[in-house]
Amino acid sequence: MGIVKAIKLVHDYYKYDESGHVEGTYRALDNVELDISEGQFIAVLGHNGSGKSTILRSITRHLAKLGGVVSIDGKDLGGMTNRELAKKMSVVLTDRVDPELLTCWEVVSAGRYPYTNHFGKLSAEDEAVVSQSMERVNALELRERRFVQLSDGQKQRILLARALCQQPEVMVLDEPTSYLDIRHKIELLSILRELAAEQQLSVVLSLHEVDLAVKLADVVVLVKGSTIYRCGAPEDVLDDDTLRELYDIRDGAFDLLLGSVELCGAAGESRVFVVPGAGRGAPCFRALQKQGIPFSTGVLQPGDVDSAVARTLAAQRFEAEPFSPPSPETMEAARMSARTARCVVDSGSPLGPYNRENLELLRAAAQAGVPVLSLRSEPPEGVAGVQCFSTVRELTGRAAALAAPKS
């Protein structure tokens, strides 16, 4: 049973005309339901304006809802005092906090005020909780620093310590990774993941980083069109098609396997053939795509990183069946593509019995007089006239010159 239940939440926003006058309303939330269990790490995903923040702010009582009920431990939040709610739920919002004169210790100490008397005096126990909270987020060394002097990553750690200082059952964070670089994103989310596991703290946060949500969340909530589109374990509800529809992706694709976005490949007939393998082809694919050069590639092995990237970027792919060599038809088509290309790119992947067909393609291209550009220090055995390069940039620059339209 969930410790927090949101049932049939409804919220409307005003619509304004160009002069700033209200011309009506639009529905931001429409019968949204959410069940948050003890110790769960829940990530709310969706495009900008989908309603992620509205859901969270309705749950935390920062927005007045038009309909629905939010309860914690079976008690309606509407009937709780601010002090009662603060002992159950802590909140970290995206709004920039700017307490000009406060030290980090004083900012974190504010999280203990639900437990203090009318004068707000901290007891020895309160001070111990403040120290423990700052230590837990690796921020104790910042205690005497002015909050306004901190970096964005340090500020988020201090605000997290303040929220933790409330000793809540549920922590709600609205886009906590905004303004953070990748190091501080990983650090912050790792701390939250550990807190959920160690203290059975329920963590609910909105995110833009789908790749991190997949790796960290127990449950993902997909918000689209003012309601919850899908909800469940990321392994069960997220796939490439779902993400494409959720974010209305048209000019590329999000690859769930790699956790990365790939832009669309160059349009047109293939002019370069890339021999891939062991993830070595992907950097070449991306470099050619940036230069607007259509390419074909093979032989790809299902499950290889190169295969995943080529699905979006390659003009033509030649792929074997799982755990099998390529069929004669696939091999002949790949051989023909390599022989008729302006040049062939050898990505430098290891060559051996498992992918001997790729060595055959390099030999076939060289025998047909097609320039072979390689990222190896030495040409592959039996492949004549190879030009070797030390960097992808140098190699693809040469490929671009060879593939340029003939005047």
| Residue 26: strand, helix, or coil | strand
pLDDT digits (tens, 9 = 90+) for 53-112: 888 888 888 887 767 788 888 888 888 899 999 999 999 987 766 777 899 999 999 999
pLDDT of residue 7: 62
In this structure, is the dihedral angle defined by the CA atoms of residues 36, 42, 48 and 50, taken in order, positive or negative? Answer: negative
Contact between 359 and 382 under an 8 Å Cβ cutoff? The reply is yes
Smallest CA-to-CA distance from 62 within 167, 193, 173 is with 173
pLDDT of residue 240: 81
Residues above pLDDT 90, as percent of the chain: 53
Residue 168 pLDDT exceeds 90 = yes
Q: Are strands 219-224 and 41-45 parallel, antiparallel or unpaired?
A: parallel
How does residue 35 score in pLDDT terms, banded at 50, 70 and 90?
confident
Residue 12 pLDDT exceeds 80 = no
| Residue 42: strand, helix, or coil | strand
Q: What is d(CA 407, CA 392) in angstroms, rounded to the nearest whole number?
A: 27
How does residue 143 score in pLDDT terms, banded at 50, 70 and 90?
very high
Domain 261-403 sits in CATH at: 3.40.50.1220
Residue 304 pLDDT exceeds 60 = yes
Question: In this predicted structure, which of 46-50, 77-81, 104-108, 118-122 has the lowest mean pLDDT?
Answer: 118-122
Question: In this predicted structure, which of 96-110, 253-267, 273-287, 320-334 has the lowest mean pLDDT?
Answer: 253-267
Residues above pLDDT 70, as percent of the chain: 92
For the residues 256-268, what does the mean pLDDT come to?
A: 79
Contact between 214 and 234 under an 8 Å Cβ cutoff? The reply is yes
In this structure, is the dihedral angle defined by the CA atoms of residues 227, 230, 232 and 233, taken in order, positive or negative? Answer: negative
- Paired residues of 344 in beta bridges: 273, 372
pLDDT digits (tens, 9 = 90+) for 182-232: 888 898 999 999 989 888 999 999 999 998 898 899 999 999 887 888 999
pLDDT of residue 101: 84
Smallest CA-to-CA distance from 52 within 22, 89, 86, 93 is with 93
pLDDT of residue 68: 79
Residue 118 pLDDT exceeds 80 = no
pLDDT of residue 1: 44
pLDDT of residue 407: 61
For the residues 167-195, what does the mean pLDDT come to?
A: 90
**What is the residue whose two structure tokens read 């392994």?**
235
Proportion of the chain in helix, strand, coil states, percent, rounded to 5? 40, 25, 35
For the residues 251-273, what does the mean pLDDT come to?
A: 82
| Residue 250: strand, helix, or coil | coil
How does residue 166 score in pLDDT terms, banded at 50, 70 and 90?
very high
Q: Residue 237: which H helix or E strand, with range? A: helix 234-237
Provide the phi-psi class of 75: left if phi over 0, else alpha when psi is between -120 and 50, else beta: beta
Angle, to 10 degrees, between the axis of helix 182-199 and the axis of helix 152-165?
10
In this structure, is the dihedral angle defined by the CA atoms of residues 136, 140, 142 and 147, taken in order, positive or negative? Answer: positive
Q: 199 to each of 81, 132, 202, how far by Cα in Å?
A: 25, 13, 9
Residues 13/43/189/82 CA torsion (nearest 10 deg):
50
State the pTM of this model: 0.79
pLDDT of residue 36: 86
For the residues 21-38, what does the mean pLDDT come to?
A: 72
Residue 52 pLDDT exceeds 50 = yes
Per DSSP (E only), the strands in 117-210 are 170-174, 202-206
pLDDT of residue 128: 96
| Residue 13: strand, helix, or coil | strand
- Paired residues of 373 in beta bridges: 345, 387
Q: Which of 57-66, 160-169, 261-270 has the highest mean pLDDT?
A: 160-169
pLDDT of residue 96: 66
- Cα Rg of the chain, angstroms: 28
Domain 4-248 sits in CATH at: 3.40.50.300
How does residue 313 score in pLDDT terms, banded at 50, 70 and 90?
very high
| Residue 157: strand, helix, or coil | helix
For the residues 268-297, what does the mean pLDDT come to?
A: 94
Cα Dmax for the chain: 88
Every domain of the chain and the residues it spans: 4-248, 261-403
Per CATH, 4-248 and 261-403 having the same topology is answered yes
How does residue 14 score in pLDDT terms, banded at 50, 70 and 90?
low
Residue 127 pLDDT exceeds 60 = yes
